[in-house]
Amino acid sequence: MSDTDVRFPSCLGPGGSHVRPARLVSGVDSPSHLRRDKMQRFREFEIDLNRRSRVLLLVATASEREAVFAAAKAVTGSEPTKRFLPHHTVYELGLIGDAEVLLAQTQPGAVGPGAAAITASALISRLGPDFLVVTGICFGLREAEQRLGDVIVCRQLRAIDHRKEIDPDDGGPRIVLIRGDFVSSSVTLFDRFRSAEVGWTATKVHYGTLLSSSALVDSRELRADLRRLDPEASGGEMEGAGVYAAAAPEKVDWIVVKGISDWGYDKDDAAQEAAAGNAAAFVIGTIRSGALDERASRASLG
């Protein structure tokens, strides 16, 4: 290695061990024999590494995963590097902008050994991401202003699986009381994705509430129930509530950004691929712009 080379290991070492070069301690890791000019370069590089962010993208299906691969390759020109952790596979997508970007796939839904809550919790602990972005597909709830393929950026998320359902004594309609959390996504991430709309012409971007449930909605009747439940909601999806539950106690900035593949009924594979592709392109484009280069304060969650 020449005097000008400074090498660091991959973030994931052999056997999936967590090695994060961006968390060096000044002076401790510097070889004592380095000349003064090389020491200065080392310090400058160390500062740069400490500033660089780590972005973890989460998807739930193969088509969502392939959409992210394609969007990332269009920027980096390279294939992802596969790394194996004890229970999860992580794909290193490389540097996009000045952010280190990783991808992992959860099973659909929030609850279950391989689903979003446990997967996100394990990966947060193992990888220490600064930003956590759930991307893929969702269903739209506002056909008058939305089109298939449009992107929804989650301003607020409503977990609707925890509920109380009551049959009134007078025999009237069933009463549904939602007891799940109603939360805002990261202030920082929402700001960054909102700003990314400027200059974005591929699809329309919507901002609003996403209903999150582990139920796969492919029913006109159920969709109508959801509209009555929250008339102002923009759409629905399956993983966000689990990711929020994992990110909140660790104070990790999180958001859900998904493409509209259907209206909660008559699902179509081709529409799902297009929607996943649009969402992935918007997410990768936002990262490429430098919007997520700087590590956010862990105290600045929305």
Q: Give residue-wise pLDDT tens across range 165-182.
A: 888 777 777 777 778 889
CATH classification at residue 206: 3.40.50.1580
Does a structural domain hold residue 45? no
Residue 22 lies in a domain: no
Whole-structure pTM value: 0.81
Its domain, for residue 229, covers 52-288
pLDDT tens readout for residues 1-33: 444 333 333 555 544 545 554 443 344 455 565
SS (H, E, C) the chain: CCCCCCCCCCCECHHHCECCHHHCCCCCCCCCCCCHHHHHHHHHHHHHHHHECEEEEEECCHHHHHHHHHHHHHHHCCCCEEEECCCCEEEEEEEECCEEEEEEECCCCCCCCCCHHHHHHHHHHHHCCCEEEEEEEEEECCCCCCCCCCEEEEEEEEECCCEEEECCCCCCCCEEEECCCEEECCHHHHHHHHHCCCCCCCCCEEEEEEEECCCCCCCHHHHHHHHHHCCCCCEEECCHHHHHHHHHHHCCEEEEEEEEEECCCCCCHHHHHHHHHHHHHHHHHHHHCCCCCECCCCCCCC
* pLDDT over 90, % of the chain: 69
- Supply the pLDDT for residue 177: 77
Tell whether 21 is covered by a domain.
no
pLDDT, tens only, 205-215? 999 999 999 98
Structural domain contains residue 34: no
Q: Which amino acid is at 205?
A: V
The answer on pLDDT for 247 being more than 80 is yes
Least Cα distance to 222 among 206, 241, 236, 240 occurs for 236
For position 169, what pLDDT does the model report?
Answer: 76
The pLDDT of residue 218 is 92
For residue 253, list its beta bridge partners: 131
104: in domain:
yes
Quick check: is 235 in a domain? yes
Tally of domains within the chain: 1
In a domain, 35, yes or no: no
For residue 2, tell me if it sits in a domain: no
Mean pLDDT of the region 105-134: 94
Contact (CB, 8 A) for 212 and 130 = no
Q: What pLDDT score was predicted for residue 172?
A: 76
